[in-house]
Amino acid sequence: MKNSFKAIAPVALAFAVALTSGNAFAAGDAAKGEKAFKRCSACHSLEEGKNKVGPSLHNIIGRTAGTVDGYKYSDVFAEAAEKGLVWEPDQLVAYLEDPKKYLAAFVGKDKVRSKMANKFKKLELRQDIVAYLESLQ
Ligand code: HEC
């Protein structure tokens, strides 16, 4: 009982903060995010035009999904773009939790194919990384 309360309390607190702050995802720490970006950099460069396994994340904030030049995306990206997916901070924070699930929900399917299989479950980590990406623009 004690232990389960401990596990739930931070989640409940984060939720309460999210509800009261208006912008649930504005809370990231860019300095921490810069360090945490090493979880992305094996596959993503921040340099314009430099695609690795994944597309360059240069100026990714505010960009329509699936539009980095010269990168061959999974088909679901064209569909998501057509349906209006733009990588604002909130969208990115949500996407990173479970990319395939996020894209499937966005295009209204049960399941989709996508090449980014990594999931980042920790909200704080995602917020920090997105804050870092925002700080570069
Ligand atoms: C193991 C490799 C890998 C890692 C690690 C990874 N990604 Fe990706 N990412 C990809 C691939 C591959 C795609 C393209 C997916 C597709 O076409 O299905 C992608 C797509 C994306 C997109 C969509 C880009 C666009 O142009 O629409 C974003 C945003 C993104 N990743 C952010 C991140 C962030 C931030 C991290 C770190 C927290 C990360 N990724 C970690 C491989 C990775």
List pLDDT tens digits, range 39-87: 999 999 999 999 999 999 999 999 999 999 999 999 999 999 999 999 9
The CA–CA distances, whole Å, from 43 to 12, 14, 16, 56, 74 equal 33, 30, 34, 9, 15
The CA–CA distances, whole Å, from 63 to 69, 123, 125 equal 12, 22, 21
Residue with tokens 């990714």: 60
Please report the pLDDT score of residue 9 as a whole number. Answer: 59
Average pLDDT, the chain: 88
Pocket test for ligand 1, best of 34, 35, 38, 40 (most atoms within 8 A of CB): 40
Q: Are 107 and 7 in contact (CB under 8 A)?
A: no
- Please identify, by atom number, the ligand 1 atom nearest to the C-alpha of residue 39: 37
Residue type, 89: P
Token couple for 84: 């209006």
